[in-house]
Amino acid sequence: MQPLSNLIAEGERLMVICNACRYCEGYCAVFPAMERRLNFSETDLNYLANLCHNCAECYYSCQYAPPHEFAVNVPQVFAQIRARSYQNYAWPGFVRVGAWWAVTAGIIVAAWLAGARSAAGANFYAVISHEAMVATFAFVSAFILAAYVAGFLRFWRESGESLARFFQPSTLLQAARDALWLKNLDSHGVGCTYPNQQHSQARRRFHHCTFYGFLLCLASTTVAAAYHSIFGWQAPHAYFSVPVVLGTLGGIGLLIGPVGLYWLKRRRDTAIVDIKQDSMDMSFLALLFLTSLTGLLLLALRETTAMGTLLRIHLGIVLGLFLTLPYGKFVHGIYRSAALVRSVLEASRGKD
């Protein structure tokens, strides 16, 4: 990676050019946010870079894009600044967690928890006890949550805005809509210029599959936990029970979404991306896909003798995914959403 000061200087150079041009102001939230400023400090650039969804429409429309001597390439430079910012905001400090390492560790933990036990007839808790499962994931989840909250607070503190402003309902609602609809990848209804210059909704749709698939899986787990603790209804649940239906739909989303995003990535224009982030992106996509694949296999084969092994693998992969979450691609959602809130807040106030 290039030294931080070079990167920030380059970001500032680009924003000064863009702010004198402003032709892109109709595209996304980044350029109106830029126009509210005359100077671009490192914190401004971190904010703008996290607001950028890397659609590259500004690059294709830029009269100053390379080979022009001004060599303006906002999506690429912002991608680099973004990657740096993930490390800056990481709590307690940035650790690079490799996907293979995480999955191996996860499977070892799952195997250790399971010991030599085996069971049939979808009796998961006979392999790994409910208590062990809950304790392990509660511990890991609590850490992830703490890391996200701390990262978010570090990001938000730089805005100079109070926390109360973040939770202002009208602002939060508008920003949530922008985030959940991926408004900034929609370009007024035609989709973004990814993987190439032609507008397409493909990335937005595959991201929706991934994100909502992930949410459905989370909902499935939450419902199952509620069933267990409140009603005493234990897994396995029937194929058409709420947790299984939610998990199956979410699982399908998590198969289609990551494969689609990977497929687009293979075809993308490398001029606009930060190639160095590929391993981070790819690990995330791969782990989401494997989580879903092993989950669905476990569901399909839960009555067979393969259940015990599949359970160990599935839980190992989920644990591996969780271990990569605090310092992996997932964090883009935290900072992107916070940046969207900040941009709605600024826009509602007009110019600084």
Which is nearer to another protein, 188 or 266 (by Cβ)?
188
Structure token digits, residue 318: 């989920």
Residues 191, 200 contacting (CB under 8 angstroms) = yes
> Is position 25 an interface residue for another protein (rule: CB under 8 A)?
yes
Least separation, in Å, of the C-beta of 57 and another protein? 7
Per CB under 8 A, does 69 bind another protein?
yes
Is position 23 an interface residue for another protein (rule: CB under 8 A)? yes
Is residue 188 involved in binding another protein (CB under 8 A)? yes
Angle between helices 331-349 and 130-159 (to 10 degrees): 40
303 binds another protein (CB under 8 A): no
63 lines the binding site for another protein (CB under 8 A): yes
Q: Closest by alpha carbon to 286, among 310, 261, 249?
A: 261
Residue 90 one-letter amino acid: A
**What's the DSSP call for residue 204?**
H
- Which of 60, 91, 137, 212 is in the footprint of another protein by CB under 8 A? 60
Which one of 8, 30, 33, 62 is in contact with another protein (CB under 8 A)? Answer: 62
Q: Give the other-Cβ count within 10 Å of 57's Cβ.
A: 23
Tokens encoding 291:
């989580």
Looking at residue 233, what DSSP letter applies? P
Q: Does 67 bind another protein (CB under 8 A)?
A: yes
C-beta of 85: minimal distance to another protein in Å? Answer: 25
Question: What is the rounded CA–CA span in Å between residue 302 and residue 213?
Answer: 21
Q: Rounded to the nearest whole angstrom, what is the least distance from the CB of residue 54 to another protein in the complex? A: 16
> How distant, in Å, are the alpha carbons of 179, 187, 193, 195 from that of 331?
14, 24, 23, 22
User: Does residue 71 touch another protein according to CB under 8 A?
Assistant: no
Q: Which residues bind another protein (CB under 8 A)?
A: 16-17, 19-27, 32, 35, 38, 57-58, 60-70, 188, 190, 197-198
